[in-house]
Every structure is written in C-alpha cells, then in structure tokens.
C-alpha cells in the first residue's frame, strides 16, 4: 500500500506518532477543517489528518462531524489505499478491557446512539460498516480485536448500553463509525486502531481516567500504529494475509 491516511481527533493523541514519523505540517489544505501532516516510510506516503481545533470553542474537534469532514477531504485529495481511524477509546471491564491495550477493529464498526425505529432505517442507524480483516495482523502484532462502537458522548446511558450489548462491542469511541461511513461510501478500505484510556464501567469517572491515561495510551498507540504501517506498506490493497 503506497498511500495510507490516518485520521485522528486530538493533537495529544497524535503527538507521539507525529514525532516518531518525523511528520511535517502541510499548509493550504482546508485549514478550517483539518491539519495535515505528511511523512514518508519505506517509500510509502503517510498522511496524518488531524481534525483540527474548533474555531469557536478552541478545543480539539472530537466527534463524528469533524471526523467525517476530515475523512472526505483526505480521500478526495490524498487518494489513500487505506484509511485508519486512530485514537484513544473507552473499554469495559466486563469485556476484558485493560487500560493501555491497543485494539484493531474486527467484524464491523457501529453506532450506538442512532435509534431509528422505522423499517429499513434501524440498520442504517447502526451502520455496521465494513472493516479490513485484520486478525492475522493482530495475532502477529499483539493487538486485541473487537467491534468498535461510536457515539458523540463520552459516557453511556441505559439506551446506549442496550445497543452496545446487542452489538457485542469491546471498544467505544467518538469517531470511528463516521470515518468508516465515508470510507464505505467512497470505496476505500478502512480499519480502526484504538488505545484504551478508560473503562466505562469502572467506578472512577470516565473523564478522570481519560485525563490520567491519555499520554500513556497515546504512546502505546504510536508504537502499535508504526507496526501496523509496517505491516500494511508491503501488502497489496485488499490483501491482509
């Protein structure tokens, strides 16, 4: 794979991998929406597309809308062979989650906050977007595998819990399904790589766990992302064996 796009939400999540790749900032690319960084690795072009900072609130643009915009711009202008949604995520003690573990998406990516009880739209709401088959890569690189589920909330409410237990998801984030949606619409292979910062069913508040573990998890993410890039680069588009 000669062109790999990595879509990330928070600059703190991206910082270790930008350093490790000696990535350089690109200018002039939709600056109100994304911040692009590019690097070369084993003669492949790597794009790190950061979702940028909100113009009004000044915080990192987390969540589905910036992720979808960023992915669209990345595919339209960079023409990647594969898109990786990389970042931090929540897990569950009940699903065997451990802080610092890195998961690759398996099976599909779903939404857990789009409940549409109308014929045909129920499935549209959940999404179940395809992901690259990555079990062999996961076994080789020591990654966990699981369904990633997305909503625009850091916490989970009772309705979320019902959809999450129905999907059997192991990883909870705020961007993957949006990135996967754009990838499916534009016929680009997709995978998510997520490092666990917090366990949503743990007694310590999710936001406190997130803040305590963000730096460590981002370093773990960077290490594993480099290994994933090195796995993907020599392979053909669509060949994950």
Please tell me whether residue 88 binds ligand SAH under the rule CB under 6 A.
yes
Distance between CA atoms of 16 and 222, rounded to whole angstroms? 6
Min dist. Cβ of residue 201 to ligand SAH (A): 10
* CB closer to ligand SAH, 13 vs 106: 13
Determine if 82 is a binding residue for ligand SAH (CB under 6 A). no
Catalytic residue among 101, 113, 160, 198: 198
List the beta bridge partners of residue 35.
50
Burial annotation 30-60 (CB, 10 A radius, 16+ → b, else e):
beebbbbbbbebeebbbbbbbbbbeeeeeeb
Of the candidate spans 74-82, 92-100, 160-168, 195-203, the one that interacts with ligand SAH by CB under 6 A turns out to be 195-203
CB 80 → ligand SAH: shortest distance, Å? 20
87: contact with ligand SAH by CB under 6 A: yes
Which of 90, 97, 146, 189 is the binder for ligand SAH (CB under 6 A)?
90
For residue 226, the minimal CB distance to ligand SAH (Å) is 20
218 near ligand SAH (CB under 6 A):
no
Among 61, 105, 149, 206, the residue binding ligand SAH under the rule CB under 6 A is: 206
Out of 7, 21, 50, 62, the residue judged to bind ligand SAH by CB under 6 A: 62
Short-list 224, 83, 97, CA closest to 170? 97
Q: CA 171, CA 166: separation in Å to the nearest integer?
A: 14
- Which among 150, 110, 145 is positioned nearest to 224, based on CA atoms? 145
d(CA 233, CA 212) in angstroms, rounded, equals: 33
- Of 9 and 49, the one with the shorter C-beta distance to ligand SAH is 9
Question: Quick check: 200 binds ligand SAH (CB under 6 A)?
Answer: yes
Count of residues in contact with ligand SAH, rule CB under 6 A? 20
Going by their DSSP bridges, the two strands 190-199 and 171-173 should be labelled as: unpaired
Q: For 37-175, where are the alpha helices, taking DSSP H only?
A: 64-78, 121-126, 135-141, 158-167
Helix, strand or coil for residue 86? strand
Which residues are near ligand SAH by CB under 6 A? Answer: 9-10, 59-60, 62, 87-90, 154, 172-175, 197-198, 200, 206-207, 210
Catalytic center residues: 13, 198
């Amino acid at each position: 794979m000669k062109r790999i796009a990595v879509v990330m939400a928070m600059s703190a999540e991206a910082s270790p991998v930008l350093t490790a790749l000696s990535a350089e900032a690109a200018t002039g690319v939709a600056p109100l929406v994304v911040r692009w960084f590019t690097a070369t690795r084993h003669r492949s072009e790597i794009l790190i597309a950061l979702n940028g900072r909100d113009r009004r609130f000044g915080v990192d643009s987390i969540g589905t809308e910036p992720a979808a915009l960023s992915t669209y711009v990345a595919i339209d202008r960079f023409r990647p062979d594969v898109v990786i949604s990389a970042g931090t995520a929540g897990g569950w003690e009940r699903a065997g989650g451990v802080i610092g573990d890195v998961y690759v998406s398996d099976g599909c990516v779903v939404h857990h906050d789009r409940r549409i009880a109308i014929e045909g739209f129920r499935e549209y709401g959940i999404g179940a977007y395809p992901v690259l088959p990555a079990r062999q890569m996961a076994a080789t690189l020591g990654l966990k595998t699981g369904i990633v589920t997305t909503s625009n909330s850091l916490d989970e409410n009772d309705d979320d819990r019902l959809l999450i237990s129905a999907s059997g998801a192991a990883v909870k984030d705020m961007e993957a399904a949006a990135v996967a949606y754009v990838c499916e619409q534009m016929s680009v292979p997709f995978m998510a790589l997520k490092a666990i910062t917090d366990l949503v069913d743990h007694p310590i508040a999710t936001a406190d766990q997130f803040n305590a573990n963000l730096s460590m998890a981002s370093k773990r993410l960077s290490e594993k992302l480099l290994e994933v890039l090195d796995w993907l680069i020599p392979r053909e588009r669509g060949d994950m064996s």
